[in-house]
Structure 1
Amino acid sequence: MESKAHILVIPFPIQGHINPMLQFSKRVASKGPQVTLLLTTTINKSMKSEMGSIQIESISDGYKNKKSESMDAFTERINCVVLQTLPEIIKKQCIPVNLLVYDSMMPWVLDIAKGLGLKAAAFFTQSCSVCAIYYHMHKGILKVPLEGKNASLPAMPLLGINELPDMKLYQNLLSINISQFSNIEGADWLLFNSFDKLENELVKWMASKWPIKTIGPTIPSIYLDKRLEDDKDYGISLFKPNDDVCMKWLDTKPNNSVVYISFGSLANLGEEQMEELAFGLLSSSHYFLWVVRGSEEGKIPNNFVSKISDKGLIVNWCPQLKVLAHGAVGCFMTHCGWNSTLEALCSGVLMVAMPQWTDQPTNSMFIMEVWRAGVRVKVNESGVVTREEIGVCLKEVMEGEKRDELIRNAVKWKELAKEAVDEDGSSDKNIEDLISRLI
């Protein structure tokens, strides 16, 4: 499709938000429009040198020093930098910008777009279900803490207290997530990194209220439809993956014999939980590949590494999609971040859900109760998942009576995900329609 449209994409600068918006940019650019991705200078250094037809525009990080800062301070700094810089960046583009696609965590960008006479689309990096919960909180329909034991919301399963987004670690994030809906009536489109059949009833309900488009799953094409030949990875990693070490180790293991464990780029487990997890893995009958970020290494129990021998491999980071696609991997023990959840569903890999915070408890409920592609661990009265519980869940997913049924469900979602992004699939059509309205 030939087009003179120019789309400027602005992600919030953390990896879990950049990756899906980057993949969306690749999909759009493959259909003709000019796409410019706006990234901070630090993030830009982590990009591949070649990003195909996508243009990269850099803005300052706004750092005054390199000391660590709170999430509140980080958010305030980024908002300030984008607010000051964005109008000038838009005005200087050689090809005029037709559409501003902005991370929904920065709703004030919509005001800039409308002030410049541009169309604007909010990009939601979480599931439709989680976003609907935040919307009902914004409207005051859902109050937290719950007055009862359950929450009943339109087009969604009944939600228990431990299945709602958990913000106790970072209360400010709750207000940020709720504020995503402060001005959505002014947006031309709402884009969701999901696909219609994954959240079917809710997508229909949302479409009756807003101009929504599901455009996911936004993962590299090689793992889905394979239409974009050079799209083999995200093209950005804020952590250095141990590619060769991981893949060579997996190559030595039998099919479906390895438990892969990763809790993403932000979650922090307490020392007691790390110990229970470590010895739960060690006492299981399965190999394990465990991602422990450098900042978390000090929580690994003393002498644990010397005990695992060839049974386990611990790395600071890994190429997750490559790992999930490897035949040796039998299940994924995950924090249930939305990107990781989608990657597992698209790979047909069973999950052991161990949610930590934000949207993860809700995602884990859907994994277990709605999509039926895994199980969720139970915490004890202290909020810790014991080694015994970890062993029970791993056994159930890796060798239990329900494994065949879980695998059939996982394979179904993998096929439906591919179908959504295939030519003339629902997500593909939604992107085509979006572009056609800009010409």
Structure 2
Amino acid sequence: MENHENKVVHCLILPYPAQGHINPMLQFSKRLEAKGVKISIAITKFLLTTLQDLSSSHLSIETISDGFDEGCSSQTRSSQAYIDKFREVGSETLARVLRRLRAGRFPVSCVAYDAFLPWVVDVAVEEGVSGACFFTQSCAVDAIYYYTQQGRLKLPLAENQVVEIPGLPCLEPKDMPSFIYSPESYPFVLDMLVDQFCNVEKADWILINTFYELERQVIDWMRKLWVVQAIGPTIPSVYLDNRLPDDKEYGLSVFKPMTEVCIKWLDDQQDGSVVYVSFGSMVHLQEEQMEELAWALRRSNRPFLWVVRSEEANKLPRNFLKEIEEETRGLVVSWCPQLQVLIHRGVGCFLTHCGWNSTLEAISLGVPMIAIPQWSDQMTNSKLVMDKWKTGVRAQKEENGVVKREEIEEYIGRVMEDEEMRANARKWKQICREAVDVGGTSDRDIQDFVSCLATKFMTD
């Protein structure tokens, strides 16, 4: 991406400061870098202080402020006040970064920003650089929020309402994102999500963390509205096409995985025998659900690896850790290298909240799923996993939102023994690898983005 005048295409990547948003944008950055684009990652000053093993990263890092450089409570971070402050202070500090880089050797050509931060494109336009809006969730969920923003989906939904959106199967209220299904429970979050589209027309490109074959119909519909590129799945190359042989981990992480403990334990298990359980980096389970899950795993008579974050450990049943240690059939860890676990020969299924990153990882690595969605986009993802892609099942909850131990135990047996489901998982794994390989649909979308960006920059 460098011409005879030594002009270099430089892309500044700005993720929302949460692990599930950082990972896909970081992986996209690596793909761009491999195609000759200079990359800088912009993160908040507080986030920089929380990252693990930053010394091993070769990335060029720029810092901006969200207005809370010393950190803030989880309650503040989940409030309208945080979003407003981030917009106010972030706009000023981002503009200063762009101006400073403009005066240097490598001015920024494009800002690729998380769709949760729509104000970024206003700053980009003001500073004379291109903007690429990056959606970290599925195209299906993005379409639902767009329909809501356009007023074409009236809330609250009727109890038995069937929702029809181009490119998607018919959806019931329970299949919708929690912010749509129960907007009164999340007073400001729905506004933030629909605001992703408040100025999207200013962006030069729309980038979505999916691959075309997985969401063909809804992507085709969205391409009638904007310049859309499906650039996923954004997971390290060694697990897909291996074209970036050093790309083995995501990189910037706020959690420290217990890698050696997990892999050593898995190595001692029989092929396809392990139930892997993780609810990601943000989900907080009810204490009753933790107890039901613990009993189900013990009663399944199958080895299990369960990720229980440190702040959730007090919800485990009394003496549970001691008892499973004596039985040597289960392992509970505070965090794990999920990709290494999912690809391990010992893992037979993935019991998951069905966050989009975890869903894409399981599809990419051919692991069937048991979905126990909790909130956000997880209900919609689990609907597609079960009914469209047929690579897993969705557990049924009681009225109090808890899945009982008998149900979980039954689902574990069903998924571990269902050959058709396992065959579907292997099929999608192959389709995914073809999409990211040279000439595949996702690779072509990334190359198109880079080529358009280079052409635009060189002619400015």
TM-score interval for Structure 1 and Structure 2 normalised by the shorter chain: over 0.9
**Does the alignment pair 1:141 with 2:146?**
no
Flag structure 1 segments of 5+ consecutive residues without an equivalent: none
Aligned to 1:288: 304
Aligned to 1:179: 195
Aligned length: 435
Aligned to 1:7: 11
Q: Report the Cα offset of residue 182 of structure 1.
A: 0.8
8 Å Cα contact 2:46/2:71 also seen in 1: no
Q: Report the Cα offset of residue 106 of structure 1.
A: 0.7
User: 1:172, 1:315 → 2: CA distance?
Assistant: 34
Aligned to 1:33: 37
8 Å Cα contact 1:19/1:236 also seen in 2: yes
Q: Report percent identity of matched pairs.
A: 49
What do residues 343-382 of structure 1 show as CA deviations (whole Å, max 9, x unaligned)? Answer: 0001100000000001000000000000000001000122
Alignment of 1:3-402 (within 5 A): 4-45=8-49, 46=51, 48-52=54-58, 54-60=59-65, 62-63=67-68, 65-66=70-71, 68-70=73-75, 71-72=78-79, 73-93=81-101, 94=104, 95-147=106-158, 148-167=160-179, 168=182, 169-308=185-324, 309-399=327-417
Residue identity opposite 2:121 in structure 1: L
Residue identity opposite 1:87 in structure 2: A
Residue identity opposite 1:106 in structure 2: L
Q: Report the Cα offset of residue 66 of structure 1.
A: 4.4
Residue identity opposite 1:423 in structure 2: V
Residue identity opposite 2:122 in structure 1: D
Residue identity opposite 1:233 in structure 2: E
8 Å Cα contact 2:167/2:217 also seen in 1: yes
User: 1:88, 1:385 → 2: CA distance?
Assistant: 50
Residue identity opposite 2:353 in structure 1: H
User: 2:407, 2:261 → 1: CA distance?
Assistant: 29
8 Å Cα contact 1:2/1:31 also seen in 2: no
Aligned to 1:434: 449
Q: Report the Cα offset of residue 61 of structure 1.
A: 5.2
8 Å Cα contact 2:12/2:42 also seen in 1: yes
8 Å Cα contact 1:331/1:352 also seen in 2: yes
What do residues 131-169 of structure 1 show as CA deviations (whole Å, max 9, x unaligned)? Answer: 000000001111232134211111110001110000345
User: 2:292, 2:315 → 1: CA distance?
Assistant: 11
User: 1:404, 1:64 → 2: CA distance?
Assistant: 51
What do residues 35-94 of structure 1 show as CA deviations (whole Å, max 9, x unaligned)? Answer: 111012343341532434x42112345336545242114434433332120001001112
Q: Report the Cα offset of residue 2 of structure 1.
A: 4.5
Flag structure 2 segments of 5+ consecutive residues without an equivalent: 455-460
Secondary structure in structure 2 of the residue aligned to 1:7: strand
User: 2:60, 2:400 → 1: CA distance?
Assistant: 49
RMSD of aligned alpha carbons: 1.5
Residue identity opposite 1:437 in structure 2: C
Residue identity opposite 1:264 in structure 2: G
What do residues 392-422 of structure 1 show as CA deviations (whole Å, max 9, x unaligned)? Answer: 11010012xxx11111111111111111111
8 Å Cα contact 2:46/2:69 also seen in 1: no
Secondary structure in structure 1 of the residue aligned to 2:229: strand
User: 1:438, 1:337 → 2: CA distance?
Assistant: 31
Secondary structure in structure 1 of the residue aligned to 2:321: helix
What do residues 200-224 of structure 1 show as CA deviations (whole Å, max 9, x unaligned)? Answer: 1111111111110000000000000
Residues 428, 211 of structure 1: alpha-carbon distance in 2 compared, 3 angstrom cutoff: same
User: 1:340, 1:21 → 2: CA distance?
Assistant: 15
8 Å Cα contact 1:9/1:101 also seen in 2: yes
User: 1:229, 1:2 → 2: CA distance?
Assistant: 24
Secondary structure in structure 1 of the residue aligned to 2:43: strand
Residue identity opposite 2:190 in structure 1: L
Residue identity opposite 1:355 in structure 2: P
| TM-score between the two structures when normalised by the length of structure 1 | 0.96
**Does the alignment pair 1:408 with 2:423?**
yes
